[in-house]
Amino acid sequence: DGGITQSPKYLFRKEGQNVTLSCEQNLNHDAMYWYRQDPGQGLRLIYYSQIVNDFQKGDIAEGYSVSREKKESFPLTVTSAQKNPTAFYLCASSMLGGQPQHFGDGTRLSIL
Amino acid sequence: GENVEQHPSTLSVQEGDSAVIKCTYSDSASNYFPWYKQELGKRPQLIIDIRSNVGEKKDQRIAVTLNKTAKHFSLHITETQPEDSAVYFCAAGEGNEKLTFGTGTRLTIIP
């Protein structure tokens, strides 16, 4: 969906380095999500946020952090505590009240 | 928490035949079941969804059925075409705020 922009498309991280993945939406969606996708696996929820300045841990939050200072932005930081960060990261957004989630194009993170 | 199992992991069908992908879920509170299609290197795209107050939903060649008692739901694609080749994911959740995804089915349509 053109309304959800993730950047960069590819990202490389050195050992011990924090990196931040950007996710911006112009759909006026209330909720935003971060998922991790590994080969042969489904999407696993890292963090989600339903309103500004509030967010909840998903199933695999360890080693990640997020912020939600603006409705349209939900950046994800992969910290050095995440020992296996190589994956495809997908951001999604939706209206509240049982509306479908729409995804961005993803960021592929690799370790140098 | 919710646990979603998806089968098969790979599926090959002749062009024009039907394809069926099945998912089971564990949490009886789940009431929203979307299906996503993901082509290689691209974003997942919603193709159809169903809520627990209906048993079946159709959209052209695609249909989804839900059995709440057995806690399973299925995706049916009829008259398959080469462009149907992709990975398909099911998901389940209470509302859509927190979805649990299956591990995906790689569907290959054989011309």
Q: Does residue A15 surpass a pLDDT of 90?
A: no
Report yes or no: B6 and B90 within 8 Å, Cβ to Cβ.
yes
Q: Check CB contact under 8 Å for A104 and B102.
A: no
More confident residue, B97 or B13: B13
Residues forming beta bridges with residue A23, ordered by sequence position: A6
Residues forming beta bridges with residue B20, ordered by sequence position: B76
Residue A99: closest C-alpha in chain B? B96
Q: What is the mean pLDDT of residues B85-111?
A: 91
On the question of a cis peptide bond just before residue B8, with omega within 30 degrees of 0, the verdict is yes
Pick from B43, B98, B103: CB nearest A42: B103
- What does the alpha-carbon distance between residue B57 and residue B75 come to, in Å, rounded to a whole number? 10
Other C-beta atoms lying within 10 Å of the C-beta of residue A55: 20
Q: Check CB contact under 8 Å for B1 and A59.
A: yes
Q: What is the mean pLDDT of residues B2-17?
A: 96
Predicted local distance difference test score (pLDDT) of residue A89: 97
Query: Would you place residue B60 in the very low, low, confident or very high pLDDT band (cuts 50, 70, 90)?
Result: very high
Q: Pick from A100, A97, A96: which is nearest to A31 by CA?
A: A96
* Integer Rg of chain A from CA: 13
Can you say whether the dihedral through the CA atoms of A29, A33, A38, A42 is positive or negative? negative
DSSP string across chain B: ---EEEE-SEEEEETTS-EEEEEEE--TT--EEEEEEE-TTS--EEEEEEETT-SEEEETTEEEEEETTTTEEEEEE-S--GGG-EEEEEEEESTTSSEEE---EEEEEE-
Report pLDDT digits (tens) over A49-70.
999 999 999 999 999 999 999 9
Q: Does residue B45 surpass a pLDDT of 70?
A: yes
Q: Dihedral of the CA atoms A63, A55, A97, A28 (nearest 10)?
A: -100
DSSP state of A14: -
Predicted local distance difference test score (pLDDT) of residue B40: 87
Q: Does residue A77 surpass a pLDDT of 90?
A: yes
**Side chain identity at B88, as an amino acid letter?**
Y
Range in A40-44, A91-95, B28-32 the model is least confident about:
A40-44
> Mean pLDDT, chain B, as a whole number?
94
* Integer Rg of chain B from CA: 13
The first and second tokens of residue B62, run together, are: 């695609």
Q: What is the mean pLDDT of residues A17-38?
A: 95
Q: Check CB contact under 8 Å for A100 and B89.
A: no
Q: Does residue A39 surpass a pLDDT of 90?
A: no
Q: Check CB contact under 8 Å for B97 and A45.
A: no
Q: What is the mean pLDDT of residues A11-36?
A: 93
Asked if A43 is an interface residue toward chain B (Cβ–Cβ < 8 A), one would say yes
Task: For chains A and B, count residue pairs whose Cβ atoms are closer than 8 Å.
Answer: 57
DSSP string across A52-107: TTEEEE-TT-TTEEE--SBTTB--EEE-TT-S---EEEEEEEE-TTTPPPEE---E
Predicted local distance difference test score (pLDDT) of residue B96: 61
Predicted local distance difference test score (pLDDT) of residue A2: 56
Query: Would you place residue B74 in the very low, low, confident or very high pLDDT band (cuts 50, 70, 90)?
Result: very high
Q: Does residue B100 surpass a pLDDT of 80?
A: yes
> Mean pLDDT, chain A, as a whole number?
92
